[in-house]
Amino acid sequence: MISKEDYYFRIDERQNTLDSLHKTRVFLSKIDEDEFYWKWAMIALHNALYGSMILVLQGTNPVRVEDKKKTEQMKKLRQKKNPLEADTGERYVISFNEALRRIQRPEFMKMYVGSKFVCITPEAEKYKQMPEHSDKAEFFAPELSVSLEHLNDYIRNQFLHYFPISISFGKGGFVQIIADIAKLIEFLLLRCGNFRIDSDEESNFIKGEISAISDLVTGLKGKHLPNE
């Protein structure tokens, strides 16, 4: 007889994020075997980033990342369809773009003494003039904004909400996006101060995956960014 533990597949946001980071590395390592792994690598990268943003924004309280407006809208919609249906308590998380906005705002990221927020130039100049924030910001080059926009709006959404057309993506662009996003994920999980590392094993796992991704990106740059 199958046990209850064997019957169910269980996963939480933390496991999902770390698994997505791992899968990004795995899929990148297989690209030479099958170029369709580009697709899966970019989807996994997006999932790893989204999950990382949610983890550092929620801290120890998941309510911080609830999209309360959408939760209420969907509750009313279900009740309209079936007035007798009991409230399921289903909640909705904030969108990728909203999470991205929040990790760049000290009012959302300041949870602990060592908490830091993301600052993409030219926003850096504003915060450098604010002593209360200047040492709490991690500065990133403006190219990160381009990589974030392309990953979410043009790559991930095309792959998951695919309209039946033929599309082309520059592999060199993929490589640069992966390099930029990996640095952001590293900051969120290891240095922003809002993600609790449970063990040395977990810390080493995250560091190892990001290091491996960086090494793979270096190799891919030689193939797809010949001018570097």
Q: How confident is the model at residue 224 (pLDDT cuts 50, 70, 90)?
A: confident
- In tens, the pLDDT along 87-96 reads 667 888 999 9
The pLDDT value recorded for residue 226 is: 59
- In tens, the pLDDT along 126-165 reads 776 776 766 788 889 999 999 999 999 989 888 877 667 7
The pLDDT value recorded for residue 124 is: 64
SS (H, E, C) the chain: CCCHHHHCCCCCHHHHHHHHHHHHHHHHHCCCCCCCHHHHHHHHHHHHHHHHHHHHHHCCCHHHHECHHHHHHHHHHHHHHCCCCCCCCCCCECCHHHHHHHCCCHHHHCCCCCCCEEEECCHHHHHHCCHHHHCCEEEECCHHHHHHHHHHHHHHHHHHCCCCCCCCCCHHHHHHHHHHHHHHHHHHHHHCCCCCCCCHHHHHHHHHHHHHHHHHHHHHHHHHCCCC
Inform me whether the pLDDT recorded for 22 exceeds 80.
yes
The pLDDT value recorded for residue 225 is: 66
The pLDDT value recorded for residue 228 is: 45
The pLDDT value recorded for residue 193 is: 95
Mean pLDDT check: name the lowest of 64-73, 99-108, 162-171.
162-171
Inform me whether the pLDDT recorded for 200 exceeds 90.
yes
Domain membership of residue 195 as a residue range: 4-224
The pLDDT value recorded for residue 44 is: 98
What share of the chain in percent tops pLDDT 90?
Answer: 62
C-alpha 62/C-alpha 32 separation (Å) is: 40
Residues 6+ apart with CB under 8 A from 17: 47, 48, 51, 52, 54, 55
Better pLDDT: 71 or 113: 113
Q: How many domains does the chain have?
A: 1
The pLDDT value recorded for residue 137 is: 86
